[in-house]
Structure 1
Amino acid sequence: MGERQLTSGERAGDGSGGGPGERVLAGSVPLTRDFFDRPGHEVAPDLLGRVITYGQVAVRLTEVEAYGVPGQDPASHTFRGRTPRNAVMFGPPGHLYVYFTYGMHFCANLVCLPEGVGSGVLLRAGEVVSGAETAEARRTAGAGRTVTRRDLARGPARLAVSLGFTREHNGLDACPPGPIRVLEGDPATPGSIHSGPRTGVSAGQETPWRFWIDGDRTVSPYRPHVPRRR
């Protein structure tokens, strides 16, 4: 599948927001902090169709998953309160929260609600719309195999790898003038947005806060949590 040109001014640059070598595509209006200063389950569906860009890679979001506040959402990293690991989620909205999971993968979230609350949206899947060659090189490094364009960012770990996110990106600002941008893009129409249970969590998975663009080929497959045998 070829690259789709960004719509209405979306921009994929070198991560600095301008300068030589930046590829200017159509319509690059970045979302401001007010966009993220809302409950995660309101921000999540509104992120579908938006474009997150860092460095040379831009990803149109097609699947996301919201997580609630301390004491209310048992699936959230903030459920039991603030820790060194989840501290970024208690910071200002619009920052990137990156965590390491299963001893092998990084996943990226966008922080929601005012500072001190503790909520976010997991970026589950998307379509690489710029910088596909860079994303593919990251995905295949040392793997000795190829990856289809459909699968470059089809899943939270794949999305993080494609964008180059690691632990050092935890806490970076995704609002101007930060190095990461979430662009206005082409928001999904309400009729195209579906919701359902969250995936891969052992508690609170029945909460229908996973949102995706119906029929989009880059949405990841749903996998309910399966308890481990003792």
Structure 2
Amino acid sequence: MQKLPRSFYARDTVMVAKELLGKYLVHRSDDVEQVARIVEVEAYLGEHDLASHSSRGRTGRTEIMFGPPGYAYVYLIYGMHCCMNVVTEPEGHAAAVLLRALEPVAHVSSHTRGPGLLCKAMGIDRKLNGHDLESDNFFLGALPDAEPVSIVAGPRVGVAYAGSWADELLRFYIRDNPFVSGGKTLRKPSGVIQ
């Protein structure tokens, strides 16, 4: 497996989000290598995106989003679930891609349909916030002979507070993949885009 280079992340967030589909998340801990394929993501475009954490400006929580691309932004929601994002675009832009669902490949036995569940299954917690995804123990990679995927776009989940940004088609997933998270937005997708 080839580790994704920093230049992969230092691009347009929507492009990165779509190209993350079919790539692999690898977490090595306690001599165990967990591997899962990324099948669903959401793009958060920066400070102007009212659904993004960075829309409230630079804070202790969002500092990682303003940093260089290719780092993990891991945060706690509802006081109990971790969610993992991948920081994208040039430093200072504060954009990221949320990982929403994974297809287990190796040493992953728990549910991975949903951002909190996938973090729990992959042993991802806030200790990995700010972790360099160029490391050898926690990274995203690709197989050199990977087949292209068919991508479906729809609105993001749980961002009704963001006004018109709630309707933006910034959730992407692999068409017909059984590991995509549930929800009515997926039962009635907006369309296949690739």
Q: TM-score range by the shorter chain?
A: 0.7 to 0.9
Q: Which runs of structure 2 are paired with 1:117-196 in the superposition (5 Å)?
A: 117-132=93-108, 135-136=109-110, 152-175=111-134, 177-185=135-143, 189=148, 192-196=150-154
Shift in CA distance, 73/217, structure 1 to aligned 2, threshold 3 Å = same
Aligned to 1:69: 46
- The answer to whether residue 190 in structure 2 is matched with residue 198 in structure 1 is no
Decide which structure has the larger Cα Rg and report it. 1
Shift in CA distance, 97/166, structure 1 to aligned 2, threshold 3 Å = same
CA distance in 1, matches of 2:176, 2:77: 28
Offset from partner CA, 1:180-206 (integer Å, 9 cap, x none): 12111365625x101011111121221
Question: Residue type matched to 1:214 in 2?
Answer: R
CA distance in 1, matches of 2:151, 2:81: 27
TM-score, structure 2 as length reference:
0.86
Question: Residue type matched to 1:107 in 2?
Answer: C
The alpha carbon displacement at 1:42 in A equals 1.1
- The answer to whether residue 18 in structure 2 is matched with residue 57 in structure 1 is no
- The answer to whether residue 179 in structure 2 is matched with residue 221 in structure 1 is no
Q: What are the ranges of 5 or more consecutive residues in structure 1 without an aligned counterpart?
A: 1-27, 137-151, 225-230
Pick the aligned partner of 1:208 from 137, 162, 169: 169
Question: Residue type matched to 1:217 in 2?
Answer: P
CA distance in 1, matches of 2:184, 2:44: 17
CA distance in 2, matches of 1:179, 1:57: 10
Aligned to 1:103: 79
Aligned to 2:55: 79
CA distance in 2, matches of 1:79, 1:178: 32
TM-score, structure 1 as length reference:
0.73
State percent identity of aligned pairs.
Answer: 41
Aligned to 1:93: 69
The alpha carbon displacement at 1:39 in A equals 2.0
Matched residue of 2:8: which SS? Answer: helix
CA contact (8 A) 1:199 1:223 kept: no
Richer in strand (by share): 2
Matched residue of 1:154: which SS? Answer: coil
Matched residue of 2:2: which SS? Answer: coil
CA contact (8 A) 1:36 1:113 kept: yes
Aligned to 2:188: none
Shift in CA distance, 116/188, structure 1 to aligned 2, threshold 3 Å = farther
Shift in CA distance, 88/223, structure 1 to aligned 2, threshold 3 Å = farther
Aligned residues: 177
The alpha carbon displacement at 1:106 in A equals 0.5
Matched residue of 2:118: which SS? Answer: helix
After TM superposition, the runs of 4+ consecutive aligned structure 1 residues lying more than 6 A away are none
CA contact (8 A) 1:53 1:181 kept: yes
CA contact (8 A) 1:188 1:213 kept: no
